[in-house]
Structure 1
Amino acid sequence: MSEQSTELRESVRQRYAAAAVRVTERGGGCCGPAPVEADESFGSTLYTADEREGLPAEAVAASLGCGNPTAVAELREGERVLDLGSGGGIDVLLSARRVGPTGKAYGLDMTDEMLALAVANAARSGVANVEFLKGAIETIPLPAATVDVVISNCVINLSVDKSAVFAETFRVLKPGGRIGVSDVVAEDSLTPAQRAERGDYVDCVAGALSFAEYRAGLEAAGFTDVEITPTHAVADGMHSAVVRAVKPVV
């Protein structure tokens, strides 16, 4: 990994560690901690009231994503789900609800502070069918063909090696498995320099792939039936998007 990539990854780690610490230090209180993000393009406002109902206030407050991947992944009873960059655990807890006691939801994060918060949130929820793993999304610590669905919420754009993320995602999925990802994607007309003008790397903007780059990356990893659907604007020419794709059975 280059020095620049190492620095970018450390900047991302520090940013999310600080977010976890802010939520933890505020505590639940009578009304729960305040969200760590105020921008309506990101965070807990992208979840319905019914989804937030019953979740620990700390899990809701720590939500930093740009979408709601559990709403588009069409999770089914008994499935095994992996959340890349699981943060405070909101999408893992929602996934665990959907797959039920016969299924399982994994959360993968590289930040100790977020992992500690997620484990605490799972304990507060009383959810048993979850497991949080420490690691990088470029080197997923699970065997091949382990999970049915991979989700992620505005995290892949933060990776310094997105081709590795796509390859690892493909590896851990079972044949016929699928991805349902929310991520920031740039219009094809924007150059990397223009993307950087619209926001920092750690703010999920500068590192975003274009629509064409995202599709090409997934297809190069072996995915088929790639769909990338923009949902709302997060900056000029930058969109939160729902990304779906399938690992072929053969």
Structure 2
Amino acid sequence: MTMKAALITGTSRPLGLGFAVARQLAELDHHVFLTARDVSRAELLAARLRRENHQATALRLDLTDAASMVEAADQVAQRVGHLDVLVNNASDAVDFTVLSALDADLDAVRSALDVDVLGPWRLVQTLLPLLTAAPAARIVNVSSISAQQIATGLDLGASLRAPAHSFAKHALDVLTTVLARALKDTPILVNAVDPGETATHPERGDEQDARPAADSARGVVRAATLDGNGPTGRLFRDPWPLT
């Protein structure tokens, strides 16, 4: 039986959601490809998984660099020849302290769109031959409750908290539905998951009520391992579904 393969973007931090997702998929017998702009950081985490007897490979991947995506795709093709799971987890720096669209730094908005929307979009295009080579691939886009300020008018205590982050994640949710429609005649399912508030930055001191990354990762892994009757083009958040 051919081992399943999963590529997760943004896996450079031991406490990060990306690494928690990678570990859980590795425990489900996936060869996991941990990717980051700084491959040395991803390699430290991949080595940790290998010490736990999992199949793990670190790759350089920068969502603003098309050439790095092609190189990563080539590496996956050479090693396994297919891709069962793509988790678009990487995200740009969050502008938490900005509370209004009128105060948004538009350079930050542009950067967030590049990393959170255009990067995943191009990555799906680049990896599509590998995704279609798998029997039934899954694409999971990691969203954020911040996007619901735009989609549903959710009140997070500001006219628009973290506008760059929120706008980009809203656009990523829209991209999810667009990709799902484009792939509707294939076995590939595309969904977005808002993992909820997750404790990944203890140095900030503002995550006392957030849950561990391992808990938040379960919803992402659930979407990454849906069976053939699973939904597509949906946004999920604990408790499922949100929309």
Q: Which has the higher contact order (CA 8 A, sep 6+)?
A: 2
Give the TM-score of the pair, scaled to structure 2.
0.47
Q: TM-score of the superposition, structure 1-length normalised? A: 0.46
